[in-house]
């Protein structure tokens, strides 16, 4: 059974600092997705990573995928308050489009 | 362009009742998936439909059923509601079945009392 774990679960950081969120998964997959969720809202797609070594960047966020290590990272550079949200990674079961979501990382950026 | 639309946005039901949730995908999207998100947790996969055929089912009891219509809209039905069914139900659509990611709707908040 595919399991997806994120760490940390909670992250409180100062504006201007850098940090990384980790997403580990338990079985082979080469498709990984990052989503953002604001309180009471739906999921917003951030990144689609479809191959080993894929790296995507958008603003202060950069995501990467290492399928051999079964690990994805979401790196935050010079955090700002607007990045406060819950971030989920999701891994697709090999050969299917069933997404297994991680536990989520609740990020709070302090001014 | 309209995104994924879901209705209703909120509803309250009593234990034992039945509920139907509706979803309209983005125009041109042929795949619809349903997820359940309990407060404080990540979404859990319920169903996927592509071109009106069920392509996947998650670990949910038979009380949960769904279908996709010729216009690619979808309904999720839950019978014999339990308190534990209280959650945000998210519908997501994609062009190709989800390979390049899903676009999620705003969800239906179901409360079972």
Query: Which pLDDT does position B1 carry in this prediction?
Result: 61
How confident is the model over A46-60, as pLDDT tens digits? 999 988 889 999 999
Residue of B44, B45, B103 lying closest to A45 (CB–CB): B103
**Which residues make Cβ contacts (< 8 Å) with residue B14, sequence separation at least 6?**
B81, B112, B113
Cβ count near A18 (within 10 Å): 11
Cβ-Cβ contacts under 8 Å, B90 against chain A: 42-43
Of B73, B80, B93, the residue nearest B22 (C-alpha): B73
Phi, psi (rounded to 5 degrees) for B83: -55, -35
The secondary structure of B52-96, three-state, reads CEEEEECCCCCCEEEEECCCCCEEEEECCCCHHHCEEEEEEEECC
Complete domains list, chain A, with CATH: 4-110 (2.60.40.10)
Q: Given this model, what pLDDT does residue B97 score?
A: 76
* Plot region of B107 (φ>0 → left; ψ -120 to 50 → alpha; else → beta): left
* pLDDT at residue A29, as a whole number: 83
pLDDT at position A56, please? 96
Residues B43, A96: C-beta atoms closer than 8 Å: no
* Beta-carbon separation of A104 and B102 below 8 A: no
**What CA–CA distances, in Å, run from B62 to B15, B58, B90?**
16, 11, 19
Domain B5-98 has CATH 3.40.50.970: no
Instruction: Tell me which chain B residues have a C-beta less than 8 angstroms from the C-beta of A24.
Output: none
Q: Which of A4, A42, A98 sits opposite B48 (nearest CB)?
A: A98
d(CA B26, CA B4): 5
Residues in B closer than 8 angstroms to A102, CB to CB, are 42
So what's the pLDDT on residue A94? 75
A63-95, pLDDT tens digit by residue? 999 999 999 999 999 999 999 999 999 998 777
Consecutive 10-residue runs of chain B (113 residues): their mean pLDDT?
A: 91 98 95 95 95 92 97 97 98 87 95 98
Report the residue from A41, A45, A99 with minimal CB separation from B45. A99
Yes or no, beta carbons of A101 and B97 under 8 Å apart: no
Question: A-chain residues within 8 Å CB-CB of B94?
Answer: 97
Measure the CA–CA gap between A6 and A66, rounded to whole angstroms: 15
In chain B, where are the structural domains located? 5-98
């Amino acid at each position: 059974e595919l399991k997806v774990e994120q760490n940390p679960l909670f992250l409180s950081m100062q504006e201007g600092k850098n940090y990384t969120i980790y997403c580990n998964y338990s079985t082979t997959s080469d498709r990984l997705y990052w989503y953002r969720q604001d309180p009471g809202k739906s999921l917003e797609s951030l990144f689609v990573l479809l191959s080993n070594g894929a790296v995507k960047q958008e603003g202060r966020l950069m995501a990467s995928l290492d399928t051999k290590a079964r690990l994805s990272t979401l790196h935050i550079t010079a955090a700002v308050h607007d990045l406060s949200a819950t971030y989920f990674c999701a891994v697709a079961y090999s050969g299917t489009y069933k997404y297994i979501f991680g536990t989520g990382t609740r990020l709070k950026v302090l001014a | 362009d309209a995104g994924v639309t879901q209705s209703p946005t909120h509803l309250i039901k009593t234990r034992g009742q039945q509920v139907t949730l509706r979803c309209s995908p983005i125009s041109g999207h042929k795949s619809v998936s349903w997820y359940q998100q309990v407060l404080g947790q990540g979404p859990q996969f319920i169903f996927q439909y592509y071109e009106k055929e069920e392509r996947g089912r998650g670990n949910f009891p038979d009380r949960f059923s769904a279908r996709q219509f010729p216009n690619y809209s979808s309904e999720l039905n839950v019978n014999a509601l339990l308190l534990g069914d209280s959650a945000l139900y998210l519908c997501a659509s994609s062009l190709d079945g989800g390979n390049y990611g899903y676009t999620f709707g705003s969800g239906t908040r179901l409360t079972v009392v």
